Amino acid sequence: MLQGVPGDSRDLARRLTSRGEKQASRMAAWLDRQLPEGARVFSSPAARCEQTVMALGRKFKLRDELLPEGDPLDLLELVQWPLGKSPVVVVGHQPTLGRVIARLLSLTEEDCSVKKGALWWLRHRERGSVSQTVVVTVQTPELL
């Protein structure tokens, strides 16, 4: 994903390319088949994120926590990780999403590279007294 200067309104106004629209449509169709009714959906207010989430055809909320320089802890609080009971979809940007994934997977690096247009499906579980984050799947538009 191209990154503009943090807070650069031109970057936030940038729209999906026609290729990006096709990818968003494919990913949304796949995701819609997997998601139960009642899943909560949040998106960055950036134009391209709003276009992406609209392809899903579900109700969603625009949230500043999903902006490119959002704080990972604010995002985790928004989605109520790990205590939330319903599935949550977030549509956002690097580096915020990569930092959240790195934190949840206890990676040694602060960031995790997240491919543009990719979907990471993570689940929390308790095994005995151990809290775990499980990677259910990673999907990219090219794999669909």
Match 């200067």 to its residue by tokens: 5
**Other CB atoms closer than 10 Å to residue 92's CB: what's the count?**
24
Query: Any idea which of 9-13, 73-77, 121-125 has the lowest mean pLDDT?
Result: 9-13
- Answer for the pair 105, 130: CB distance below 8 angstroms, yes or no: no
Tokens of 132: 């775990």
Alpha-carbon separation of residue 88 from 14, 64, 71, 121, 128 (angstroms): 25, 16, 18, 10, 25
Radius of gyration of the chain (CA): 15
Match 């088949």 to its residue by tokens: 33
What domains are there in the chain, each with its CATH number? 10-143 (3.40.50.1240)
Helix%, strand%, coil% for the chain, nearest 5? 35, 20, 45
pLDDT digits (tens, 9 = 90+) for 52-92: 999 999 999 999 999 998 999 999 999 999 999 999 999 99
Cis upstream peptide for 45 (omega within 30°): no
Mean pLDDT along residues 82-106: 96
pLDDT of residue 8: 61
